[in-house]
Copies of this chain bind each other. A is one copy, B any other.
Amino acid sequence: MEKEPLLQLRVFDLNCWAIRYLSKLRQERVQMIADTLSQEGYDLVLLQEVWSETDYRTLKQRLSACYPSSHYFRSGVIGSGLCVFSKYPILDTFLYQYSLNGYPYMLQHGDWFCGKSVGLLVLKIQEIVFNIYVTHLHAEYCREKDAYLPHRVVQAWELGQFIQHTSKAADVVLLGGDLNMHPEDVGIRLLRGWTGLRDSFTDAERFEGCEDGCTLVPDNYFTNKKELQPFPLGIRIDYILYKGQSNFAVKCDRLVTTTGKAPGKSIPYSDHEAVIATLYVKRHGEAKAPNSNTVEPALVDIMNEARTEVRVGLHAAQRQRYSSGRMAILALLLLLLQAVMGLSSLVGWASPQPFPKFSFSVLGSLAVLVLLVSGVLHIFHAIEVKVLQGTEDQMRLALQSLQDRLSTK
């Protein structure tokens, strides 16, 4: 890193919390974000939770002069919420939707409806190929009893695999987003260990912002203070991660987070803090093969830890698949019994109307309803089981390759 930097890249990342009808002061905040982005003229802006396409269009219109290229990633029922604005032309995009993402019946959480994904953009700046990833993983609603942990671990694994497999021709890899994981969580250790991505917070030469780099802080007007009680400083769940490949190296010169308020304003941009990194890209003397990261023996332990979480999820999913299947069979049996009773009373084998007509019809409707709901649940949990088994398989194979590489070192 002796040579002069080739390129400076200023990246802005923010979970915008822009849920129509639900998020407070949404429109004002979107305008505030647009103001700041126009004034600051970053090279790259990675946004999450822009759920409404109207908000995206507002931003696009306001930012078109400063950021001529932009993309909105569509998935799920509501949309992935991911969008990007770039000073440089976006050459290609690709979207990978995570195989597991919560449950459709958990309406109060709603993650399933967003079709959580990772979006990829390819940029070329001064002949340097950048693979930029933006993502938002499943939220953590209860840290003590986190039912979504296996899903988030699967997402972290798929994110890592997607980055590894798609970034081999890139000179610089950059990931920004709300990972919904604390820095010490197994998912982020797996992601970082597997991809070799560096954390801009720990690597930055200069840092300004919330203590410990937190991005969900009690000082923010919009955050739920009760949820943050166990963490007086707040938590760090929004990240900018990066690595240089081939003969390029990346350094984080400066990392800034907002501190509960948008600079010079009375309210924050969002319930999350924005993360702003200034990166320098330099050219190495020697070319490095893509993904030739040194394999850390600790990665074996991390992968085993992640596999354990996946297995815990698998057992739970198998139990739920079984219960919903059993319920569907019981409802079907009840319906069949009713059909036999109805028929036999019709053909005169039994006394007419052995039960009052009303109770009989209510019971029948209830059975149909239970059959439908438990049938759908059974299908859903069968898919969950398949994905968790598949992930476990993939992880086992990866672990084997890893151990082979370690033993031949």
Per the bound structure, the CA–CA distance linking A355 and B91 in Å amounts to 65
Closest to A112 in B: B379
- Contact partner of A386 (CB less than 8 A), chosen from B74, B357, B390, is B74
Per the bound structure, the CA–CA distance linking A358 and B360 in Å amounts to 9
Q: Does A302 contact B (CB under 8 A)?
A: no
Q: Does A87 contact B (CB under 8 A)?
A: no
How many of A's residues come within 8 Å of B, CB to CB? 52
Q: Does A320 contact B (CB under 8 A)?
A: no
Q: Are A74 and B389 in contact (CB under 8 A)?
A: yes
Q: Does A196 contact B (CB under 8 A)?
A: no
Closest to A162 in B: B94
CB distance from A16 to the nearest CB of B (A): 19
Q: Are B166 and A397 in contact (CB under 8 A)?
A: no
Given A93-B397, A368-B369, A390-B95, residue A77 in contact with residue B115 (CB < 8 A): no
Residues of the B chain whose Cβ atoms lie less than 8 Å from the Cβ of A357: 358
Per the bound structure, the CA–CA distance linking A104 and B104 in Å amounts to 15
Q: Are B361 and A73 in contact (CB under 8 A)?
A: no
Closest to A90 in B: B397
Q: Does A161 contact B (CB under 8 A)?
A: yes
Per the bound structure, the CA–CA distance linking A364 and B362 in Å amounts to 10
Q: Does A394 contact B (CB under 8 A)?
A: yes
CB distance from A113 to the nearest CB of B (A): 8
Q: Does A75 contact B (CB under 8 A)?
A: yes
Q: Which residues 370-401 in A have Cβ within 8 Å of B in the complex?
A: 372-373, 376, 379, 382-383, 386-387, 389-390, 393-394, 397-398, 401
Interface residues of chain A, those whose CB is within 8 Å of chain B, are 71-77, 79, 90-97, 99, 104, 113, 115, 120, 161-162, 165-166, 168-169, 290-291, 357-358, 361-362, 364-365, 368-369, 372-373, 376, 379, 382-383, 386-387, 389-390, 393-394, 397-398, 401
Q: Can you spell out 23 A-B residue pairs with CB atoms less than 8 angstroms apart?
A: A72-B393, A74-B387, A75-B386, A75-B390, A76-B383, A76-B386, A77-B379, A92-B397, A92-B401, A93-B393, A93-B394, A95-B390, A96-B96, A97-B99, A113-B379, A165-B165, A168-B168, A168-B169, A362-B365, A364-B365, A365-B365, A368-B369, A372-B372
